[in-house]
Structure 1
C-alpha cells in the first residue's frame, strides 16, 4: 500500500494546498453541473491531494486540524467548486467526529476501529460518506427506520433499509450507515456501522436530478441483508449515536457551513470582478455602496463562522459552542442568498448566463437551507439556549 505524502504542517500552507486543489477542481464544475460528467473526477483529485486526511491526528499521519481551521479550508474549496466541497465535507463529517474521540479513554475494540479507519484514510486514500437521511424523516436520528440485528453467530450485524439522499453514491469506498436495532422503533438508541460500497446487498439508485450541486453524486441507497463484521460497528458501541449528536452537534448541524461560506465568497468575488471590469461602473458611488454592503454582510458571516469554530475547538460540547454553530449555519444561509440577489441586480444578464460561473454559484448558494440543520431548527436551538432549556436532554429538540 502506498503512503500519501505528509500534509503541510501550517494552516497557511494547508490553505495554499486547498487553493491549488480548488483551482484544479474549478474547471470541472460546469460540466458536472450540466450533468455532462458524473463528478467522480473531483473526488479522485481530492484523494490525490492528501486532503482526505485533513482532520486525522498528526500522530496517525494526518494534518490534525480542528473545526475552525477546517471551515477555512472547506471555504477555500467551496469558492472554486461548491459541489466537490460539499461532497468532501460528507467525508469529514465522519472523520471529524472520530478524530475528536482521540484522547478519550475507550475500550480496545474502539481503539482498533479508530486506527483502522485512520489507516484507510491516510494510507489507503479511502473516501468515506454518511448515509443517514430517509424519506419522511430527513437526517433526524429518532425517525430512522433502517434496522440491524445480530447474526446467529454473534460476530456480525445484518442491516436492512433504504436511505433517500446519500452523497458520494458510487464515489465513496465506505458509507457510515445509521440504523436501529430491530423492534426498537421510536427509541432514541441508534448506532452507526461502516458499510463498504462493494458489500453484498448494497445498491444505489440513479443520481438525483438536482437543479444545483449535481456533483455531490447524491442518490438513494438500499441495504438488503447487508452483513458486516462486529469490527465495523462505529467505535464498537451500540446505541450511542443520538447521545453523541445531542452533546456535540457541530458536525451534523454546521459541517456544511464552510462550504456555503465559500460559495458566498465566490458570488461576491464574481460581482466585484464584474464591476471592476468597467471604469464607469467602478467609479459609480451607487455601485461602490452596493459592493460595500455585500462586503459587510460577508465579513460578518465569516467572522461568526470563525468564532463558532473557535468555540468548538476550545469548548467542544458546551451550550455556547453548540448555539454558536447553529447561529453561524443560520446566518450563512441568510447571507448567501442575499448576496445572490445583490449579484443579480448588479450584474444583470451576466448573472444568469450559463457561460459565467456566477450563474452556478447563485443557484448553489440557495441550497444552504436544505442541509441540516435547517433555518428554523437553527433558530429554535439558539432561542432555547437563550432561555436556558436543557439541550443535553434528547427530548428537548427534534433530533
Structure 2
C-alpha cells in the first residue's frame, strides 16, 4: 500500500491549486460571460481533460490523479459551484465519450471539450425519475437515420451555458436496463429547449436548469455506444462521478479545517484563545478525523477504478463518507465561529455548498440501499463481491 502521490501528480496538484486560488475566484453572483472566461482558463490549464487521452487533447491520467486535481481545485477555488460544474463536465460527460465513443466521435467532441471551447451537460434526472432511473419517460424513436426525442429533464448541471448535452432516453419501453440509449445532442438543435436557471441553496456558481425535447431530431450517428446500452454507460459515469468529483469536497474541507484552526488560535474569550478550550479543540479534531477517513475511502475507490474494478460499493461508500463529512465540517465551522459563522463568509458557504452533496449522484439513502444489497440485505439479491482490507471478498 502506497499512500503517496507520484512526483508528477504532486507537481500537478500544486500547480492547479495555485492556479485555482489566483484565477478561478467567482464574482459572487452568476455571470455567464465570466463563467465561460474562467472555463476557458481551466481548459488551458488542463483541468478539463484529466481523464482524456493525449491524442484527443487531454492529459491521459487515471482516477487517482483526476481526484487529486479535483481536490486541489476544491481547496484553491472558493467558488465550489464552479468546480462542481467542472467535475460534472469531466466525469458525467467526457468520461462516457472516452469509454464508449467511436473514434470519429472522440475526435469530433473531445478536443473542444478539453480545451474549454465547449461546455457539456448530462441529462438524466426527470421530474418523475430521480433515484428511479429506469422510470424515466423521455423517449427516443428511431425514424430512418434519426432518432426523435420527446420528454423532459430536470436539475441538469451546466445546461444554461452548455454547448453539448449527453442525454439518456428510452428506446425500448419496458426494456429495463436494456431499454435506455445515450445520445450526444448539440445545443441549438430544433426541438431542444433549456429552461430558466435555478436559484439554489448551495453550489450557486454552478448553473442548473431543466431541458425539454419536443420532436427533437438527433442523427443516429450521435448515439453514444449501442442502442440499449445507456444504462451501462450511466453506471460507468456514476462510478467516476461518485469517486473523482467528490474529491473537490476533500479540498473544501481541508481549506475549512485550516481556517478553523487559524480562527481558534486568534479568537480570544475569557483571557485565552478559544482553541485552548476542549470543546473547541475536540470539535476541530473531529473535523480532521472525518476528513482523513473520507479521504482514504475516496482514494481507495479511485485506486480501484484505475485497476478496472467493477465494484460499485467502494464509490458508494466514498460518496457517503465525503458528503456526510462535508456537511458536518460546515456545521462545525459555523459553530466554531459563532455569530460570525452565520454571516456571509467561508463557513456558511461551505455548509450550503455541502448540502447538495447528499442529494446529487444518487441520494445517500440510495447509496445505503445499494450497499445493503451488496451485503446481502434488503432483498433476495446475492451479495456482490467487494474487496476487503486483506484482499479477500465478501461471500
- Tell me the residue number matched to 2:29: 31
- Tell me the residue number matched to 2:47: 51
Query: How far apart, in 1, do the equivalents of 2:99 and 2:33 lie?
Result: 35
Unmatched 5+ residue regions in structure 1? 1-8, 102-108, 393-399
- Tell me the residue number matched to 1:357: 346
Any conservation in 2 of the 1:84–1:216 contact (CA below 8 Å)? yes
Query: How far apart, in 2, do the equivalents of 1:346 and 1:139 lie?
Result: 35
Give the deviation of 1:185 after TM superposition: 4.6
Give the deviation of 1:343 after TM superposition: 1.4
1:1-399 correspondence to structure 2 within 5 Å: 10-24=8-22, 27-28=25-26, 30-32=28-30, 39-79=35-75, 80=77, 81-92=79-90, 93-100=92-99, 110-122=102-114, 125-138=117-130, 140-151=132-143, 154-181=144-171, 184-185=173-174, 187-188=176-177, 189-235=179-225, 237-246=226-235, 249-251=238-240, 253-278=242-267, 280-281=272-273, 284-286=276-278, 287-317=280-310, 319=311, 322-354=312-344, 356-387=345-376, 389-390=381-382
Query: How far apart, in 1, do the equivalents of 2:89 and 2:32 lie?
Result: 24
Query: How far apart, in 2, do the equivalents of 1:48 and 1:303 lie?
Result: 30
Query: How far apart, in 2, do the equivalents of 1:124 and 1:21 lie?
Result: 15
| Aligned-partner SS, 2:166 | strand
Query: How far apart, in 2, do the equivalents of 1:365 and 1:29 lie?
Result: 20
Query: How far apart, in 2, do the equivalents of 1:190 and 1:77 lie?
Result: 34
Query: How far apart, in 1, do the equivalents of 2:74 and 2:160 lie?
Result: 21
Give the deviation of 1:40 after TM superposition: 4.3
Query: How far apart, in 1, do the equivalents of 2:300 and 2:234 lie?
Result: 21
Instruction: Label 1:217 to 1:123 Cα distance change in 2 as closer, same or farther (>3 A).
Output: closer
Query: How far apart, in 2, do the equivalents of 1:350 and 1:73 lie?
Result: 31
Instruction: Label 1:45 to 1:178 Cα distance change in 2 as closer, same or farther (>3 A).
Output: same
Instruction: Label 1:214 to 1:186 Cα distance change in 2 as closer, same or farther (>3 A).
Output: farther
Give the deviation of 1:186 after TM superposition: 6.0
Give the number of the structure with larger relative contact order, counting CA–CA contacts within 8 Å between residues 6 or more apart: 1
Give the deviation of 1:76 after TM superposition: 1.8
Query: How far apart, in 2, do the equivalents of 1:203 and 1:370 lie?
Result: 25
Any conservation in 2 of the 1:245–1:252 contact (CA below 8 Å)? no
Aligned residues: 367
State the Cα deviation string for residues 217-261 of structure 1 (Å, max 9, x = none). Answer: 1001111222222221113x1111213445775135445322233
TM-score by length of 1: 0.83
Instruction: Label 1:123 to 1:265 Cα distance change in 2 as closer, same or farther (>3 A).
Output: closer
Query: How far apart, in 1, do the equivalents of 2:44 and 2:246 lie?
Result: 24
Unmatched 5+ residue regions in structure 2? 1-6, 385-395
TM-score by length of 2: 0.84
Instruction: Label 1:335 to 1:29 Cα distance change in 2 as closer, same or farther (>3 A).
Output: farther
